[in-house]
Amino acid sequence: MEQLQLLIGGLTAIVLFIFGLEHFSAEIERVTGDRFRRVLARATRVPVFGVLLGALVTAVIQSSSATSVIAISLVNAGVLSFKNSVGIVFGSNVGTTVTAQLVAFKLTEFAPLLIILGFFLSLMRSRWTLFGKPMFYIGFVFFSLNLIASSLSPLQESDLLVAYLVQPQNPLLAVLAGCLFTALLQSSSVTTGLAIIFVQQGLLSLENAVPLIMGANIGTTATALLAVFNMDLAAKKTALCHFLFNVGGVALFLPVFLVFGEHLNRLGSDPAIALANIHMIFNVVSCLVFLALIAPFTRLVESVMGEGKMDFERIDFPSYSPDVPFAERYRRLEANLLKLFAFLQENYNLVTLGIESNYRSVQEAAERRIEYIAYLERDVQATFSHFLVSTADEEESRQLMNLFTRYDYLFQIEDSIEDLFNTKVTMDKQFIELRSDVMLMVREISSRTLHLFDKTYRALSEGQRPDTHEASVELRSTIDGVSRDLLRLMRDPRRQDVGVLSHFVTYSRRVQDKLQRFGKIAGRSAVGAKSAGAGAGAEAGRPGSATDT
């Protein structure tokens, strides 16, 4: 009976630890998730920066799995390239060493203070309230670790168990056990924390604990591998990179351990601190070795998975730099406007094709592009904000605001395209399929809308004002005709697809209105710029002329 109570108490403490860790990670992501993603997306062109950021993010959110999944999702969305994600993956393992150090140095004793302080902060109405729940949950994590230690302390009285755990065991089996336990609990921090507590209590020898934390590194890749089943090739490369890196680190250190493992107990008087330091050295050295070999390592991953290209080209949006002249900044921003317009046209095509055809691959491609635009919109807003703040000239500010308005119209078009995509999501959830008559109506509206997109793009790319009156009249006539048919179809209660058509008509009207507004304002700007250029050229050709008539 006593042993059963001990088992239940220990398992309860472990469950509380996992619960606290998950909620702490979720709270940190809620508070600063978008900021983390933007920082990761912008500052990873240099692998060393990627390593530092990966380590920092993991140290903050206390989960290398979460950091890896964030990196993979960014790659899948097209925000981050595979090569830029590799550094983050390497750094995520280094970040996990923070937990081990905190536990080893018994800083978990501050758990009650953190819980109380976090609780009262969450009740306050001030800017500090934001940090209340994260502080509460990190205190909860530490408190759970202390609870695990006290719950399992009676095991020290079992001479048979202590003798078994202290005696050297097969290191390969220990690596496998650490891997399976971590994969099951989805957290290497749990495995590492438990190993250090067991070592502190004398229940586990240092020689047996080291292979466990090595195996934990491999087990933590399970989350990332599970996350990529429906993602594109680049995201799968990042997940494979995460797996090979962790397996490679173990393969690198295991021979050293097999030779010198029996001498580990001589490293220091406190075996828990020694284990935490070994864990840190293991991860840092693995990171440095793979960072030095990053070029051949990424080539190996690409040779295994195939070169492959992303299913869409990302827009190279310029970041703010005070050294770049205004004219160059403006030119690059304006050039990207047409690229974004073409991108949205393809988005609309994929979304409507997904509604018509029900092809899963088409829907997934559309979803990735929509997610990418969400990231891009935040970057555009931040960039224009920096440009406007740094521009003192009134005319330059006016030009920037005019250009930002055109971008804003494009993002409004994207909002309506996303509404259409969500209509398809609702169809899938409710198992609604379009009948042939409704499918033809959807196809007719989408083809007319794509024609309007095409007419607008062609005119703007030639620097002309879009003449889309005829295309707009045809589209509006088609939408009006479908609306009349919709009233007839709604009389049949068995037609679930009619509701889908109703939403499609509403969002198609919005797309048309926003397209027309964008065409007008962009057309005026394009013609104005063309006239200004011609005027400047004529002025230059008239010697002595000072004004433009």
User: In 153-205, where does DSSP find H-type helix?
Assistant: 159-166, 171-185, 188-200
Which of 202-211, 241-250, 303-312, 538-547 has the least mean pLDDT?
A: 538-547
- Cβ neighbours for 58, distance < 8 A, ≥ 6 positions apart: 64, 66, 67, 91, 92, 93, 94, 95, 96, 98
Residue 414 pLDDT > 90: yes
- Average pLDDT over all residues of the chain: 79
Both 278 and 205 in one domain: the answer is yes
**Rounded (5°) CA angle 353-356-357:** 80
Residue 549 falls inside a structural domain: no
What integer is the mean pLDDT of 213-222?
86
Confidence of residue 446 (pLDDT cuts 50, 70, 90): very high
Instruction: Check residue 227 and give its pLDDT.
Output: 65
What 3-state DSSP class applies to 188? helix
Contact between residue 523 and residue 465 where contact means Cβ atoms under 8 Å apart = yes
Cα(318)–Cα(331) distance, integer angstroms? 10
Nearest residue to 318 (alpha-carbon basis) of 296, 334, 298: 334
The pLDDT score that the predictor gives to residue 269 is 66
Mean pLDDT of 153-171: 63
Higher pLDDT pick, 135 / 148 = 135
- Please tell me whether residues 104 and 236 are part of one structural domain: yes
Distance CA 255, CA 261 (A): 9
User: Is there a single domain that holds both residue 251 and residue 343?
Assistant: no
Domain end residue (candidates: 305, 335, 367): 305
Cα end-to-end distance, the chain, whole Å: 101
Indicate the residue among 271, 305, 339 that finishes a domain. 305
Asked whether residue 162 is assigned to any structural domain, the reply reads: yes
Q: Is residue 540 part of a domain?
A: no
**pLDDT higher for 377 or 24?**
377
Note whether residue 310 is domain-resident. Answer: no
Cα atoms found within 13 Å of the Cα of residue 15, Cβ hemisphere only: 6
Q: Is residue 101 part of a domain?
A: yes
Query: Per-residue pLDDT averaged across 49-77, rounded?
Result: 76
Quick one: 55 and 203 in the same domain?
yes
Least confident of 161-175, 278-292, 348-362, 493-507: 161-175
CB burial class (10 A; 0-12, 13-18, 19+) of residue 278?
buried
- CA–CA dist 162, 202 (Å, integer): 8
Provide the pLDDT confidence category of residue 285 given band limits of 50, 70 and 90: very high
Q: Are 245 and 223 in contact (CB under 8 A)?
A: no
Return d(Cα 376, Cα 372) in angstroms, integer.
6
Q: How many domains does the chain have?
A: 2
Least confident piece of the model among 113-127, 344-358, 397-411, 520-534? 520-534
pLDDT band per the 50, 70, 90 thresholds, residue 477:
very high
273: in domain: yes
The percent of residues in the chain predicted with pLDDT above 90, rounded, is 15
**Helix or strand run (H / E) with residue 187:** none
For the domain that residue 331 is a member of, what is the CATH number?
1.20.58.220
* Tokens found for residue 212: 């466990």
Q: Do residues 281 and 392 share a domain?
A: no
- Residues 254 and 260: their CA atoms lie apart, in Å, by 10
The reply to whether 362 and 492 lie within a common domain is yes
Does a structural domain hold residue 10? yes
Domain boundary residue among 276, 305, 334? 305
Question: Which range marks the domain in which residue 367 is found?
Answer: 326-533
Say how many C-beta atoms besides its own lie within 10 A of residue 51's C-beta. 27
Question: For the CA atoms of 174, 176, 177, 178, what is the dihedral angle to 10 degrees?
Answer: 90
Q: Does residue 317 lie within any of the structural domains?
A: no
334 and 251: one domain?
no
On whether both 288 and 334 belong to a single domain, the answer is: no
Do residues 397 and 391 touch, judged by C-beta distance below 8 A?
yes
CA distances, 42 to each of 49, 281, 388 (Å):
10, 29, 20
Give the whole-angstrom CA distance, residue 49 versus residue 239. Answer: 20
Runs of H (alpha helix) within 105-170: 111-123, 132-152, 159-166
Show Cβ contacts of residue 532 under 8 Å, excluding neighbours closer than 6 positions.
none
Residues 6 or more apart from 501 whose CB is under 8 A from it?
Answer: 434, 438, 441, 442, 482, 486, 489
Mean of pLDDT values over 185-189: 72
Count of CB atoms within 10 A of residue 509's CB? 17
Segment 23-49 mean pLDDT: 65
Instruction: Using the predicted structure, report yes or no on whether residue 93 has a pLDDT greater than 90.
Output: no
CA distance 365 to 349: 11
Among 281, 279, 286, smallest CA distance to 195 is for 279
Judge if 261 and 345 occupy the same domain.
Answer: no
Range with the poorest average pLDDT among 289-303, 327-341, 379-393, 441-455: 379-393
Please report the DSSP string for 205-238 in residue order.
-HHHHHHHHHHHHHHTHHHHHHHTTTS-HHHHHH
- Assess whether 20 and 81 both reside in one domain: yes
Quote the pLDDT of residue 81.
75
Cα(413)–Cα(514) distance, integer angstroms: 6
206, 275 contact by CB (below 8 A): yes
Task: Name the 3-class secondary structure at 45.
Answer: coil
The yes-or-no verdict on residue 135 having pLDDT over 70 is: yes
Q: Are residues 248 and 386 in the same domain?
A: no
- What confidence score (pLDDT) does residue 349 get? 93
Predicted TM-score (pTM) of this structure: 0.63
Half-sphere exposure in the Cβ direction for 285 (13 Å, CA): 12
pLDDT of 98: 79
Question: What average pLDDT does this structure show over 270-297?
Answer: 88
Amino acid symbol at 142: F
Residues 469-476 have a mean pLDDT of 90
Nearest to 319 by CA among 542, 543, 39: 39
Mean pLDDT of 130-159: 73
284 and 360 assigned to the same domain: no
Which has more pLDDT, 318 or 400?
400
The residue type of 173 is L
The per-residue DSSP string of 335-370 comes to HHHHHHHHHHHHHHHHHHHHHHH--HHHHHHHHHHH
Residue 506 pLDDT > 80: yes
